[in-house]
Each structure stands twice: as structure tokens, then as C-alpha cells.
Amino acid sequence: MDRGTVGSAQSGRLLVEVREEGSSAVVTPAGELDHHTAELLREPLDDCLAKGFSRLVVDCARLDFCDSTGLNVLLGARLKAEAAGGGVHLAGMQPVVARVFEITGAEAVFTVHDTVEAALAAPEGAGGTHGPQEAQGTQETAAEAPVGPGTDDASAADEDD
């Protein structure tokens, strides 16, 4: 496996390192990903895609913060990678960052793995801890909730009258 460092970018609050792992690129942002630092992640992600890496693994283990701008950078990379037949896999998310993905629903469109190694070993399209199929099931369950026991109880009460 080629483990050479492809490049890095830094701006005080965010350092981004990129390395090749076989046919994948592993992008490691460290620090705070927000409006002021988003371009420092967008550029390496776009560069990896331009070099032909359609499978990107983003190692989030050292990512301390992510706002909506950072989330949009990752979503944009995901769309570009999928258009090229690949995908973006997230790995090692800290709870504070994972919460942003949970609140916004973005966890449903990313494949999330516990470790970079697990992300690299997973076949493209294989789900980690989250994936579109799991999210779809959750949405169906939520949509079915109003038709639950409460509705049946009300019907039974009407029948008693």
C-alpha cells in the first residue's frame, strides 16, 4: 500500500493532511471546521477527486468542531465522489461532531465507520454505522407512529358508546 503524504494545508485552527491508501485518499482534518476554515478542507477534497480518487475517507478523529459550512463541504465532496462512481466515508467521529450530523440528518447520507481501517476495508456502498437504508427505515417508523396504539384506543372508546 502506498502511504505517501500527498499534501497538507494549515490555517491556525484547521490542519488538513492527505495521504494515499491504495486506491483511496485519506483526508484528515484536525481542529475546527467552520466558515473561516472550510476552504482548507474543500481544496484537498477537490484535488483528490481531480487526481482520480473517487473513494475518499475523511478521518474525523481529530476534528473538534464542524458547523454547517463544514458540513456543506463534506456534502459537496460526497456528491462529486458519487458522480465519479465512488463515495465519501467518514471515520472516527468525535461525539460533538457526530451530533451535528445527527441533528441535521446528514448522518443518513454518509457511511460512517468507527475507524479509518474499517472505512478502507469496506467495499464501496457498504454501510458503516449509518447509511441511507438505515435512515430510510427510521423515517418510515416515524411516519407510522401516529397510526399507533393511541389511535386504536380512541376507536375502542368510540365503540363502547
pLDDT score at 129: 47
Strands (E), the chain: 5-11, 14-21, 24-33, 55-59, 63-66, 87-91, 111-113
Distance from C-alpha of 146 to C-alpha of 148, rounded to nearest angstrom: 5
Count the Cβ atoms, other than its own, within 10 Å of residue 92: 22
pLDDT score at 143: 33
Q: Tens digit of pLDDT per residue, the chain (161 long)?
A: 333 444 555 557 999 999 999 999 999 999 999 999 999 999 999 999 999 999 999 999 999 999 999 999 999 999 999 999 999 999 999 999 999 999 999 999 999 999 999 999 988 755 444 443 233 333 332 333 333 344 444 444 444 44
Going by C-beta distance under 8 Å and a sequence separation of 6 or more, which residues neighbour residue 61? 28, 91, 92, 93, 94, 116
pLDDT score at 134: 33
User: What residue ranges define each of the domains in the chain, with the CATH number in brackets?
Assistant: 5-130 (3.30.750.24), 132-161 (no CATH)
Whole-model pTM? Answer: 0.73
Q: Is 89 exposed, middle or buried (0-12, 13-18, 19+ CB in 10 A)?
A: buried
Q: What is the DSSP letter of 23?
A: T
Beta bridge partners of 129: none
Distance from the first to the final alpha carbon of the chain = 74
pLDDT score at 11: 54
